[in-house]
Amino acid sequence: MTRILHFTDAHLRWNQPGSAANPLRLSRTMPDALTRLADRITEIKPDVVVMTGDLLDVPDDVLAGAPADGRPLDEWRAEIEADFQIFRDWFDAIGVPGLAVPGNHDDVGTFRRVFDDPPMVADIAGMRFISFWDELGPDRQPRRTGARRNLYDSALIAAEHDLPQVHLQHYMIDPPITSRGWQYEYRGAADMKDAMENSGRVRAVLSGHYHPGSLATGPGGLIHSLPPAFCEAPHPFRVYNIEETGAIDVRNFILSD
């Protein structure tokens, strides 16, 4: 049995000033919430902890290279690095392997540096974890293209990847959702979903991005799981127990209970 603890969308700001524009996103309480989550990890004893993006809440204007507060970009960059370092130190201290992928509110270059250019494929507790650092297109719909698409295609058919898999990405494949005029699921999501089902290899597709969360189980038992955003009270997270048979038990947790 493999036990995975999954949380997503922390939107942390600590060294960076201010908080997320949406007041429900409790950016400044996240360092404290991480400390409390570490205690739960000690109790729950997962084999691996995964975080599917938006570790930080970097403002859009800063990501675009033009901070609206007029401060130099280098100052923001130093604060972003220090905020990622909070996560890096946390992952280093939890006592079990951890995996994270960047989201659209993270600065990918700084993320890559602070996390030492992590591998996209990791074998943990009998499963192959594959990380997809996908991006939004100009229309804000997520896309899996280029090297990431090649990795995905190969994961589903190549002999070297013939292992039970868990896929990690910030964006979701299922369910298809339109919100605020944007498509939240990948371009070509329905075909991706079918290909993963047909491969017989993928057990769980773990994502974030859509803060209300979702859980869907396909006909072959493959789950598409997005826990509700960790940054919003009561700070939810999920635990999956995956049996060798492929059977999956999903449990919902909250920090404040």
Please report how close the Cβ of residue 51 comes to Fe ion at its closest, in angstroms.
Answer: 12
Please report how close the Cβ of residue 160 comes to Fe ion at its closest, in angstroms.
Answer: 33
Nearer to Fe ion (CB atom), residue 25 or residue 148: 25
Distance CA 100, CA 111 (A): 10
Of the listed pieces 46-54, 61-69, 79-87, 128-136, which binds Fe ion according to CB under 5 A? 46-54
How remote is the C-alpha of 237 from its chain's centroid?
12
9 touches Fe ion (CB under 5 A): yes
Is residue 197 within 8 Å of 220, Cβ to Cβ?
A: yes
Which two three-digit tokens encode residue 221?
């038992």
Please report how close the Cβ of residue 104 comes to Fe ion at its closest, in angstroms.
Answer: 7
Residue nearest to Fe ion (CB): 54
Which two three-digit tokens encode residue 241?
């127990």
Nearer to Fe ion (CB atom), residue 174 or residue 232: 232
H or E, element range at 254: strand 248-254
Please report how close the Cβ of residue 210 comes to Fe ion at its closest, in angstroms.
Answer: 8
232 touches Fe ion (CB under 5 A): no
106 touches Fe ion (CB under 5 A): no
Please report how close the Cβ of residue 1 comes to Fe ion at its closest, in angstroms.
Answer: 30
The pairing of strands 2-7 and 236-242 is antiparallel
Candidate residues 5, 48, 54, 56; the one interacting with Fe ion per rule CB under 5 A: 54
83 touches Fe ion (CB under 5 A): no
Which two three-digit tokens encode residue 171?
């964006």
**Binding-site size, Fe ion (CB under 5 A):** 2
Distance CA 110, CA 237 (A): 25
Q: What's the half-sphere exposure (Cβ side, CA atoms, 13 Å) at 112?
A: 8
Residue matched to tokens 């719909």: 141
Nearer to Fe ion (CB atom), residue 98 or residue 227: 227
Is residue 186 within 8 Å of 192, Cβ to Cβ?
A: yes
**Touching Fe ion, residues 107-146 (CB under 5 A):** none
- Which spans of this chain sit near Fe ion (rule: CB under 5 A)? 9, 54
